[in-house]
Structures are given as structure tokens and as C-alpha cells.
């Protein structure tokens, strides 16, 4: 499900069963990332699908990339392996105005 920046953030704050997933590349993550985000690079497709299959399908996954395209694709991949509750951040990290962390 696609969510606006505000809807994604407010739903995430109230969700006690939430997992944040950053599907950008490692180089993109150097710009910063949303706190507590798990990193799964969608461009490493075999590893991405294998990791998705290992995730807890009872959790709610809040997924983002740079602009919202790859994260929408990631939601579809998660759905295809049995994870039903996925939320795509429209506009992605490039429009994020919440807290961020830097890797170093």
C-alpha cells in the first residue's frame, strides 16, 4: 500500500509491530537513513528475495528507497513471498523530513 510521507510516519509511530526496510544501495545509505531501518539492497536481487523469504510475515513492513519506485517493487516482492502488510513511502527518502541517522 502506498502511503504519503505524513501517513507513513504517523502510522509507523503507532505501529508496535513495525519493521522499517531501506532498499537503497549502500552508497545511497551514506546520505543517511531513517533510524532503526533494516537494509536490504533490492539491486542484489537473489539476496533480496532470499532475505524477504526469511522475514516474519506477521510483521508490518514500512519500505522506502530514494524516490518510491524501488520500494513499490519491494512491496510486490514481499507480497509474493507471503508478507501481506507492506507500506511504500511515496516520494521516498528524498522527500523525507523526519529524523535521519548517518552511518559514520
Question: To which residue does cell 533494516 refer?
Answer: 38
Establish if 60 belongs to a structural domain: yes
Q: What's the CATH code of the domain at 67?
A: 3.40.250.10
Q: Is 82 left (phi over 0), alpha (psi -120 to 50) or beta?
A: left
Establish if 103 belongs to a structural domain: no
| Rounded Cα gap, residues 25 and 3, in angstroms | 22
Min mean pLDDT across 5-14, 52-61, 77-86, 94-103 is at 94-103
Establish if 104 belongs to a structural domain: no
pLDDT tens digits, 74-83: 999 999 999 9
Active-site annotation, residues: 65
The reported pTM is: 0.95
pLDDT tens digits, 10-25: 999 999 999 999 999 9
Q: Is 60 exposed, middle or buried (0-12, 13-18, 19+ CB in 10 A)?
A: middle
User: For residue 63, what are the domain limits?
Assistant: 2-95
- The count of domains in the chain is 1
Amino acid at each position: 500500500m502506498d502511503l504519503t510521507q505524513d501517513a507513513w510516519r504517523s502510522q509507523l509511530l503507532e505501529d508496535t509491530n513495525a519493521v522499517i526496510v531501506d532498499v537503497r544501495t549502500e552508497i545511497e545509505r551514506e546520505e543517511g537513513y531513517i533510524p532503526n531501518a533494516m537494509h536490504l539492497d533490492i539491486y542484489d536481487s537473489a539476496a533480496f528475495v532470499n532475505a524477504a523469504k526469511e522475514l516474519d510475515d506477521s510483521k508490518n513492513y514500512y519500505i522506502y528507497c530514494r524516490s518510491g519506485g524501488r520500494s513499490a517493487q519491494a512491496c510486490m516482492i514481499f507480497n509474493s513471498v507471503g508478507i501481506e502488510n507492506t507500506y511504500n513511502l511515496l516520494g521516498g527518502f528524498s522527500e523525507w523530513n523526519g529524523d535521519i541517522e548517518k552511518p559514520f
